[in-house]
């Protein structure tokens, strides 16, 4: 009969099962194995924590990006967007417009890839009989400004064309000509290059000087002409003409508008063109094998997925550390207040009631504003202000436990108070503490996110989910993904923690029959 008294009767899908001599923890584990929703939430949390811990490995070996390196050319890439070499943000294609983009080298040693851009409207093109239009582009890094002379003319057709620039629209007679590129503006200037070119009617010809003065082979200084038809500039459309003359860029590139390929491939020293709808679009030039940013990039061109992983490290570590501090304080104070009662209990209750009556967010803002915002400060502030709820729960449970027979018996045989607290009271508070910890972490993630969103939490360039969400609100129209993904991470994490807390509460409830 004594053995039968320990039988716990449970119902599982209509079948009666008997578990003899099982502890509360063993019963809780059995219940958890049947709680599918809680197991899924635990699995999701385990994945999120693992991704945050392995963020450096994922960044370097899988994504092959730098979480902190800025790249203006790759700003506001959409999810799945391809890395750009050249970026024309918010470029307007006007009706019957002809947009010429010369891809060239710029910056220290010519290793920075950039572009020179010119836009011509159909009404600007010459309508004179026997005449056509020309542009002259300087795409040779390290070469001084030059002038272009047409045939045997003594005056330059285009004077002082500076490096990385395109001349004004020029009128040239239709037919074959020789262009001479000279230093300075005099006919006596040193010849840099010569170019035989045939000007066709109703075309726009761009003569480009590219290569290097000291270069050899493919890198040698030379000039080349590229023509595009100006007759088919239909109403409501524009034409994009891209010329690849950058020695630092990959040999083959493609052109994307709104991250959709519009010119499939352009080899070095060649050009490509496409008809574009009228409108305001983002245009980029990418390498043929350019890497893909899974969740796009932010306003500074940093990989959004890598930043989310590193932000998870900060947000989760702050929440877990602050929750542990609050649990330690709350459990300690709650056990002492509940076990001893009397004056100690009154003082604890008065302290909790007084501080809880004040607006918590206001206190947090004042403390964080007075101190230097950072992870350590946030952990301490959140931990020291977050123990009141846990303390109330533990105090109430301790008041109930201390009146039970085994506690009375332990005190009657003279067991030390410390032994009673640690051996008899604390183990019976395990379920309350675990549930409170799970719920506390969820609440603290929300609080940290709110503080960072308001500008009192983690400061950029360090990333947390809260400050990523705060920074993204400025760029909502340019990159909606910058708002969606940090908000989604916060929502999913907090939801999973609440589900886990609710599941643990049910699992550790000894009165639960299913």
Q: Of the candidates 436, 387, 258, 408, which has an alpha carbon nearest to the alpha carbon of residue 339?
A: 408
Q: Token pair for residue 238?
A: 């524009």
Secondary structure letter of residue 144 according to DSSP: P
pLDDT in tens, 103-123: 998 876 667 888 888 888 888
> How far is it, in rounded angstroms, from Cα 6 to Cα 19?
9
Which of residues 111 and 294 earns the better pLDDT score?
294
Under the banding of pLDDT at 50, 70 and 90, the label for residue 393 is: confident
Task: Compute, in degrees rounded to 10, the torsion defined by CA atoms 456, 461, 465, 468.
Answer: 90
Q: Token pair for residue 298?
A: 């932010």
Long-range contacts of 364-373 (CB under 8 A, 24+ apart): 364/447, 364/451, 364/456, 365/451, 365/454, 365/456, 368/451, 368/456, 368/457, 369/456, 373/456, 373/457, 373/458, 373/459
Average pLDDT in the 223-231 region?
89
In the block, residue with structure tokens 């049910």: 506
Does the structure show a pLDDT above 90 at 259? no
Distance from CA of residue 458 to its chain's centroid? Answer: 15
Under the banding of pLDDT at 50, 70 and 90, the label for residue 213 is: confident
Task: Compute, in degrees rounded to 10, the torsion defined by CA atoms 427, 431, 437, 442.
Answer: 180
Helix (H, G, I), strand (E, B) or coil at 40: helix
Contact 114, 285 (CB under 8 A): no
Contact 397, 428 (CB under 8 A): yes
pLDDT in tens, 19-66: 555 666 677 778 888 888 999 999 999 999 999 999 999 988 888 888
pLDDT in tens, 161-171: 998 899 999 99
What is the reported pLDDT for 15? Answer: 38
Taking phi over 0 as left and psi of -120 to 50 as alpha, with beta for the rest, 288 belongs to: alpha
Q: Of the candidates 192, 190, 187, which has an alpha carbon nearest to the alpha carbon of residue 152?
A: 187
Burial class (CB in 10 A: 0-12, 13-18, 19+), 489: buried
Contact 494, 316 (CB under 8 A): no
* Side-chain half-sphere CA neighbours of 87 within 13 A: 19
> How far is it, in rounded angstroms, from Cα 379 to Cα 374?
9
> How far is it, in rounded angstroms, from Cα 338 to Cα 110?
73
Burial class (CB in 10 A: 0-12, 13-18, 19+), 278: middle
pTM of the predicted structure, to 2 decimals: 0.78
What is the reported pLDDT for 13? Answer: 42
Contact 260, 250 (CB under 8 A): no
Q: Of the candidates 160, 157, 178, 181, which has an alpha carbon nearest to the alpha carbon of residue 169?
A: 157
Does the structure show a pLDDT above 60 at 10? no
Strand partners, 478: none
Contact 161, 167 (CB under 8 A): yes
> How far is it, in rounded angstroms, from Cα 161 to Cα 455?
48
Contact 429, 394 (CB under 8 A): yes
Does the structure show a pLDDT above 70 at 8? no
In three-state form (DSSP H/G/I as H, E/B as E, the rest C), the secondary structure along 384-397 is HHCCHHHHHHHHHH
> How far is it, in rounded angstroms, from Cα 183 to Cα 193?
10
Under the banding of pLDDT at 50, 70 and 90, the label for residue 231 is: confident
Strand partners, 198: 176
Contact 291, 65 (CB under 8 A): yes
The two beta strands, 237-244 and 97-106, are parallel
Does the structure show a pLDDT above 90 at 177? yes
Q: What percent of the chain has pLDDT over 90?
A: 32
Would you kindly state where each structural domain of the chain is located, as residue ranges? 7-56+305-507, 84-290
CATH architecture for the domain at 7-56+305-507: Orthogonal Bundle (1.10)
């Amino acid at each position: 009969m004594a053995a039968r008294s320990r039988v716990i009767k449970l119902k599982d899908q209509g079948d009666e099962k008997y578990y003899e001599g099982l502890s509360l923890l063993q019963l809780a584990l059995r219940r958890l194995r049947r709680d599918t929703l809680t197991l899924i939430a635990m699995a999701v949390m385990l994945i999120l924590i693992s991704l945050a811990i392995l963020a450096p490995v994922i960044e370097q070996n899988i994504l092959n990006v730098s979480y902190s390196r800025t790249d203006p050319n790759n700003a506001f890439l959409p999810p799945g967007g391809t890395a750009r070499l050249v970026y024309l943000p918010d470029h307007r294609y006007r009706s019957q417009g002809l947009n010429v983009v010369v891809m060239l080298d710029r910056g220290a040693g010519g290793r920075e890839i950039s572009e020179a851009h010119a836009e011509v409207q159909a009404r600007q093109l010459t309508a004179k009989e026997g005449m056509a239009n020309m542009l002259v582009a300087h795409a040779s890094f390290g070469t001084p400004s030059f002038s272009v002379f047409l045939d045997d003319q003594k005056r330059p057709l285009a004077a002082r064309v500076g490096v990385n620039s395109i001349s004004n629209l020029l009128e040239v007679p239709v037919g074959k000509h020789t262009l001479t590129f000279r230093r300075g503006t005099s006919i006596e200037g040193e010849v840099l290059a010569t170019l035989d070119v045939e000007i066709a009617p109703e075309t726009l010809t761009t003569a480009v000087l590219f290569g290097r003065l000291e270069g050899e082979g493919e890198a040698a200084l030379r000039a080349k002409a590229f023509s595009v038809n100006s007759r088919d500039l239909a109403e409501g459309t524009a034409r994009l003409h891209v010329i690849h003359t950058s020695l630092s860029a990959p040999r083959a590139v493609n052109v994307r508008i709104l991250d959709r390929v519009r010119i499939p491939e352009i080899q070095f020293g060649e050009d490509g063109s496409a008809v574009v709808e009228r409108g305001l679009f983002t245009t980029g030039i990418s390498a043929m094998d350019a890497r893909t940013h899974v969740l796009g990039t932010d306003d500074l061109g940093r990989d959004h997925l890598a930043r989310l992983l590193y932000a998870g490290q900060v947000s989760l570590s702050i929440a877990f550390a602050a929750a542990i501090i609050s649990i330690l304080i709350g459990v300690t104070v709650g056990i002492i207040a509940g076990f001893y009662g009397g004056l100690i209990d009154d003082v604890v209750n008065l302290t909790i009631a007084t501080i809880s009556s004040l607006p918590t967010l206001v206190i947090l803002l004042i403390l964080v504003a007075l101190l230097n915002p950072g992870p350590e400060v946030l952990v301490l502030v959140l931990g020291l202000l977050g123990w009141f709820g846990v303390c109330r729960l533990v105090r109430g449970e301790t008041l109930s436990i201390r009146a039970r027979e085994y506690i009375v018996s332990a005190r009657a045989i003279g067991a030390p108070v410390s032994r009673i607290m640690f051996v008899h009271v604390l183990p019976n508070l395990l379920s309350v503490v675990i549930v409170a910890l799970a719920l506390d972490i969820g609440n603290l993630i929300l609080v940290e996110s709110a503080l960072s969103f308001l500008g009192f939490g983690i400061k950029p360039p360090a990333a947390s989910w809260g400050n990523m969400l705060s920074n993204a609100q400025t760029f909502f129209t340019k990159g909606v993904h910058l708002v969606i993904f940090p908000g989604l991470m916060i929502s999913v994490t907090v939801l999973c923690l609440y589900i886990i807390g609710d599941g643990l509460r049910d699992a550790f409830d000894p009165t639960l029959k299913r």
